[in-house]
Structure 1
């Protein structure tokens, strides 16, 4: 294709013949057979209504300013469209097949609780070495059906000789259904510990499979991931063991019946002495601000203190601070 004049394409220049035509018109002449379409489109010339076939020259500086304004407006529209592309693609990506878009050879996206439980059950059913689980949620918030499923799975793998370790928050010890379940699987050979601070939810199977919560797709709050990348699985296993070795045995807490504090109160106090505010503690331990305040008020009453500062001073020298 040949070059095009201003107004007919993207090039803000004139062809040599168009420049020659403008020169003739500006000097009162006839352009003859020279092209004038580009001059007309850019308004460098205008038809002479009184002399058909003749043209009137217009000030090129005025036309130039008009072309600059048009190009700037077009550029602004293009930039605006470009700025919208990332938001548009992110919006559409959430509807694209998550298994294909977010997953890969080393990870699988599981879009809801049912899919997570099904895949976990399948992997645990084939386990032969170890099953490590970390359950940071408050026990009363757990789905009873999922808890029963966990009991059955633990009993099954223990019967096959699989090593089972489970990590709970200290508040789990005060929850009667969880206590009954834990005592049952401990009797069957499982190890259970209680941790006083926050820790991540995970399920590790045979050093080859890792199940974690979804932190990729914001809209999928009940989703999760099945990870089989060996380096990621083994790194997560080290994270689990780090929390495990800093946690207390369930049996040791069960024997500490003469304590003033409850497991949940100790969990709150550990966070407060780590420097968190009372409002921040609630988010860390999975309680509302009101529930945190209620627990601290109950502890003040039990100790006979009037202020939280007195509680923290007592806590700093209390042997109960060594309990999970």
Structure 2
């Protein structure tokens, strides 16, 4: 109710009550015109045209009415949400019929137009649900693209999508790139640096990869063949394991913080599930997943087991987690 009714409005309502629950409109407007208008709009003060006075009414009645209105609106939104897939069915069918993606039977397709490459990547991103792995050679990132890239990255992370990115050492000495990496790292992306040559590559949900096929990145290969995709995943994971984890916040000149509610760490260390943590903290599971991604980046934890171990160690004075994971531990 505090968002619905600011303290200044509450104070004015109490003043009207102190005067017997009735004041002139002019008197109330003289004290606080904006608060007066809001109280009248909500119905806590009723305006009488015949004598231009205001009467304070029972807040319980107003709350019941507002609550009923909100409930009705929520029901309408729920009904509408269930109708959305049916309303989009014809468009979904048209999308599938257009065969905008390569034929799965072919598995590998070469695209030789930069705009078409970008167009296809945006389509793939719109269907992404779990993770993106990116190898971005060349050091410094294009500054004119950073703002849009940052906003999209934060949006993906907020949806619970895991992001891991490899850069080359040139990124370390380019202040805008370091600042960008610090921002997305704080949001939950994991960014490392590999001092070796590697090819530009994106892997979405471990189901499709986009690999640069020319030195100028004008050509790309879209890969869905399972055997080729598995080999590309092995290459990325091998490079990721050898890469260094810089302190992007130090390079950017900003303090390094987790940005995660303090209550979340102990709950995660205690072994609670995402759903249980979300229930305890009054958050959505997606928000909890985003916070956990930020903790994994902060502690450089490959798995949830390692993260839980490090969180318990931080509380008990241990320094390092064990290598590897416990048998059967889930990789988050």
Q: In which range does the TM-score fall when normalised by the shorter chain? A: 0.3 to 0.5
Question: Larger radius of gyration, structure 1 or 2?
Answer: 1
User: TM-score of the superposition, structure 2-length normalised?
Assistant: 0.41
